[in-house]
């Protein structure tokens, strides 16, 4: 069975700090409200309770999972909510002990007792959550969701039903793995981005594909812009000082601009020395993930925790490699990145709670490497090789955030993933594909086997690695 995953499934606009622990639970809360409406139970509801399990429970506080659920139950949309309103909405719920379900029905709600952090794991997935509503007539409605990474939310019974029905993808070029994608590119004599584009326009009008891809890019650009122009301490208690601001100031000096687009053009005109290239790339990646850590708006790429890699590498291409590049190349880059991410999701995982940080930073680095390779003129074979190289050198990377916060080591890891992506693309461009020894699909298989072998304490639980080696109170 081929699974249809769109570029827009892989690159989602949302709010930080985590796609699996923030955006996923937020979307799950929205789906729960829709179920109540469908069952004609919403207007009868007098109380709701949410049970969080596994990784959601162990690191949920640091990932603002409770905030996300309250916002979702309130009827707020993570794509469009003004992020400056988030704290006020949450604090109002906490102070009044009331929540306005779907922005319609006001009911009692105590965040301290109605959101329960259970430390045990549900068997289906590490990120499980159960919503329960209680009606005045004694009716209870229970629904369980799983946040499986990248903002994707599923119900176990629907996954099993899909397997039994063997639903076939409607794309003209359905791909379950890298080998199938490459075969399409060769037989159709097309670039990988052209194969992806054909799939996308089979689902929606060309104008919509164009506008949505550019909306994703403009969100990324604005995120980098905000991060480079914001200073201070990140929330959460680790007292992490924002670094992108100072780094950016040291690189750009005195410059006049007033919008993210003008900022981009200003950087393009700035003379960049060799050593500064690494600083610029790191600055872009830091900027995104500092915004993410502050509950800002980012694009999951493929997750919030790895949201800085792809925009940083795309900015590198625009400001260092090709000053003439425009919308055509931006769309090309995003389509390739999204397709590579979807192949990893189908063959392995993009959830750190299932696979460690190799599933987030590793996958994002592979996505960025492949995309960069194509826009720099690489063949489809070299594009897949670039993805393989990037992931190969992230295998086994653990997820061990201090305090359950998407800050240390997460923010810096985005800079490492971006630099490795650029290096992987360069290596692939200099390699004859005939001499490739390791197919991308083999690396994806290996990543999944590594994920299954990895001790659970290194899968976004904050019970191993740096999370226990460093005392949060000493930070």
Q: What is the DSSP string of 365-425?
A: HHHHHHHHHHHTT--HHHHHHHHHHHHHTTTT--B--GGG-S-TTHHHHHHHHHHHHHHHH
How far is CA 159 from each of CA 108, 148, 451, rounded to the nearest angstrom?
A: 34, 12, 21
Amino acid 167: pLDDT:
52
Q: Which parts of 143-233 fold into alpha helices (H)?
A: 156-165, 178-188, 192-201, 206-228
Amino acid 282: pLDDT:
98
Amino acid 158: pLDDT:
52
Task: Show the tokens assigned to 360.
Answer: 């987030």
Amino acid 475: pLDDT:
65
In residues, how long is the chain?
475
Q: Are 397 and 357 contacting, i.e. CB atoms less than 8 angstroms apart?
A: yes
Amino acid 168: pLDDT:
65
The residue with tokens 């570029």 is 7
Tally the C-alpha atoms within 13 A of residue 398's C-alpha that lie toward its C-beta. Answer: 17
Q: What pTM, to 2 d.p., does this model score? A: 0.93
DSSP state of 462: S
Amino acid 434: pLDDT:
82
Amino acid 137: pLDDT:
85
Amino acid 166: pLDDT:
47
Amino acid 157: pLDDT:
62
How far is CA 264 from each of CA 255, 335, 360, rounded to the nearest angstrom?
A: 12, 21, 27
Q: Are 203 and 6 contacting, i.e. CB atoms less than 8 angstroms apart?
A: yes
Amino acid 2: pLDDT:
63
Q: Which residue stretches of the chain have pLDDT < 70?
A: 1-2, 157-168, 473-475
Q: Are 337 and 370 contacting, i.e. CB atoms less than 8 angstroms apart?
A: yes
């Amino acid at each position: 069975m081929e699974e249809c995953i769109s570029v827009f499934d892989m690159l989602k606009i949302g709010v930080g700090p985590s796609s699996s622990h923030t955006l996923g639970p937020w979307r799950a809360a929205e789906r729960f409200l829709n179920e109540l409406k469908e069952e004609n139970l919403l207007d009868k509801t007098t109380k709701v309770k949410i049970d969080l399990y596994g990784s959601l429970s162990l690191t949920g506080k640091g990932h603002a999972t409770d905030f996300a659920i309250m916002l979702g139950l309130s009827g707020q949309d993570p794509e469009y909510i003004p992020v400056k309103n988030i704290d006020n909405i949450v604090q109002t719920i906490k102070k009044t002990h009331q929540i306005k379900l779907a922005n319609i029905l006001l009911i009692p709600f105590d965040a301290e007792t109605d959101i329960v952090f259970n430390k045990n794991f549900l068997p289906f997935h590490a990120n499980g959550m159960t919503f329960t509503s209680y009606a005045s007539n004694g009716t209870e409605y229970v629904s369980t969701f799983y946040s499986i990474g990248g903002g994707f939310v599923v119900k176990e019974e629907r996954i099993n039903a899909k397997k039994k029905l063997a639903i076939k993808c409607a794309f003209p070029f359905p791909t379950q793995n890298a080998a199938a994608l490459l075969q399409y590119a060769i037989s159709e004599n097309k670039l990988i981005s052209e194969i992806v584009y054909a799939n996308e326009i089979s689902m929606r009008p060309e104008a919509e594909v164009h506008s949505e891809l550019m909306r994703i890019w403009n969100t990324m650009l604005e995120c980098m812009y905000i991060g480079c122009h914001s200073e201070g301490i990140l929330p959460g208690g680790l007292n992490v000082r924002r670094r992108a601001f100072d780094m950016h100031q040291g690189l750009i000096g005195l410059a006049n601009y007033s919008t993210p687009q003008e900022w981009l053009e200003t950087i393009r005109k700035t003379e960049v020395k060799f050593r500064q290239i690494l600083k610029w790339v790191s600055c872009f990646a830091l900027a995104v993930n500092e915004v993410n850590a502050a509950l800002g708006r980012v694009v999951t790429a493929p997750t919030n925790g790895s949201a800085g890699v792809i925009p940083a590498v795309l900015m590198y291409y625009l400001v260092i490699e090709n000053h003439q590049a425009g919308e055509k190349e931006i769309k090309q880059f995003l389509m390739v990145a999204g397709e590579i991410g979807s192949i990893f999701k189908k063959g392995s995982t993009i959830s750190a709670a299932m696979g460690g940080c190799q599933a987030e930073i590793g996958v994002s680095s592979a996505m960025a490497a492949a995309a960069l390779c194509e826009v720099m003129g690489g063949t489809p074979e070299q594009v897949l090789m670039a993805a393989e190289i990037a992931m190969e050198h992230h295998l086994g990377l653990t997820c061990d955030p201090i305090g359950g916060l998407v800050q240390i080591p997460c923010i810096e890891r985005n800079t490492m993933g971006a630099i490795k992506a650029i290096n992987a693309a360069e290596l692939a461009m200099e390699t004859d594909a005939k001499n490739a020894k390791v197919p991308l699909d083999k690396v994806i298989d290996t990543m999944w086997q590594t994920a299954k072998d990895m001790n659970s304490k290194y899968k976004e639980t904050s019970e191993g690695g740096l999370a226990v080696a460093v005392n949060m109170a000493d930070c």
